Copies of this chain bind each other. A is one copy, B any other.
Amino acid sequence: MECEVLSLEQVCSFLKQRDNYTILTHSSPDGDTLGSGFAMQGVLEKLGKKARVICNDAIPQKFSYMIRKPVGEFDTQTLISVDVADLKLLGKNHVDFIGKIDLAIDHHGSNTMFAHRAYIEQDTSSCCEIIYKIAQCLNVELDCQIAAALYTGVATDTGCFKFSNTSDNTHLVAADLFKRGIDAAEINRVMFETKSRNMIQVEQIAYRSLEFSYDGRCAMVILPYELIKNCENSDLETVSNIARSIEGVLVGITLKEKEQNIIKISVRSHAPVDASAICGELGGGGHSRAAGCEFEGTISEAKQKILAVVKKYLEINNERTCTSKQA
């Protein structure tokens, strides 16, 4: 299938021409896909169109303020996906949509171009930042609910403006959304300062297990199967950053026993230590500062193995790390 790459103006005229939209968000929905979906629905409704948002998975309660009840019944005429990099990410019935998506709007450079038309901005913080741009181009006046949805996506995808994907334009968008009367502090409280009871339990296990090696340059957190077997993946989200966030730590490791004797090793590092090279030695890979690999054996074997590799990389980098402190 040929995918036509549209310009911003072409996206806008396409949206003005069509009607009866179903907007698809990715499964395990996050703030950006839902924010993009419901903001898009709101923008289309302000153009006098009918639109709904669909997600394969249930929408977590914390995002419920974004939900817009569709105005009236209608059959889908136009299918749009937002923040979906690959058709498979639509979830279990993604095969139903093969060859059927009319327009994909996304900020992932890895988008597989599964739609008939695509508008991709890969250097943009979030899909919501793109939807904002489209709304501006369509001259749609944003109401407070649309603005709150867009803010949610921008804030969650940038770690509240903390990560390197934040740009000057991201802040300009936020400034404009503030003017629409959103309660950003409350959104941020729910998104960034609320942890589930399960998350807290996992953090308790993590803090209890914390061990340091090599003069505090390596920290390790261990999550044994018996203690985490009832946890969801989302409960484990926050722990992989604990080890690396400690002052003086260059390599932070999380050992997660997914099944008895199957250990997922996550490695996070600070410059100049290469996490991907470390994991490569155990058959894994990833990015230079965040990588992973899998190990079959006991926790204590995994620990010995990964620490031996880490030692080598700390020695390689020893001279450089002494001079690479915060300039």
Q: Which residues of B contact A207 (CB under 8 A)?
A: 200, 203-204, 207-208
- Asked whether any CB of chain B lies closer than 8 Å to the CB of A185, the reply is yes
- Asked whether any CB of chain B lies closer than 8 Å to the CB of A194, the reply is yes
- Which of A4-12, A87-95, A244-252 has 4 or more CB atoms under 8 Å from chain B? A244-252
- Asked whether any CB of chain B lies closer than 8 Å to the CB of A64, the reply is yes
| B162–A168 CB distance below 8 A | no
By secondary structure, the A interface counts as helix
Q: How far is the CA of A200 from the CA of B203 in the complex (A)?
A: 12
- Which of A41-49, A100-108, A171-179 has 4 or more CB atoms under 8 Å from chain B? A171-179
Contact status of A185 and B160, CB under 8 A, knowing A178-B171, A195-B245, A210-B200 = no
Contact code string A84-120 (vs B, CB < 8 Å = 1, else 0): 0000000000000000000000000000000000000
Contact code string A257-295 (vs B, CB < 8 Å = 1, else 0): 000000000000000000000000000000000000000
| B163–A168 CB distance below 8 A | no
The one of B64, B65, B178 that contacts A168, using a Cβ cutoff of 8 Å: B178
Q: Which residues of B contact A174 (CB under 8 A)?
A: 161, 168, 171
Nearest opposing residue in chain B for A162, CB measure: B188
A-B contact pairs, 5 of them (CB 8 A): A162-B189, A171-B171, A172-B175, A186-B326, A197-B248
Q: How far is the CA of A176 from the CA of B175 in the complex (A)?
A: 12
Contact status of A169 and B175, CB under 8 A, knowing A194-B247, A204-B207, A248-B197 = yes
Q: How far is the CA of A163 from the CA of B185 in the complex (A)?
A: 5
Q: How far is the CA of A160 from the CA of B184 in the complex (A)?
A: 12
- Asked whether any CB of chain B lies closer than 8 Å to the CB of A192, the reply is yes
Q: How far is the CA of A245 from the CA of B185 in the complex (A)?
A: 14
Q: How far is the CA of A237 from the CA of B122 in the complex (A)?
A: 38
- Asked whether any CB of chain B lies closer than 8 Å to the CB of A216, the reply is yes
Contact status of A166 and B195, CB under 8 A, knowing A64-B326, A175-B172 = no
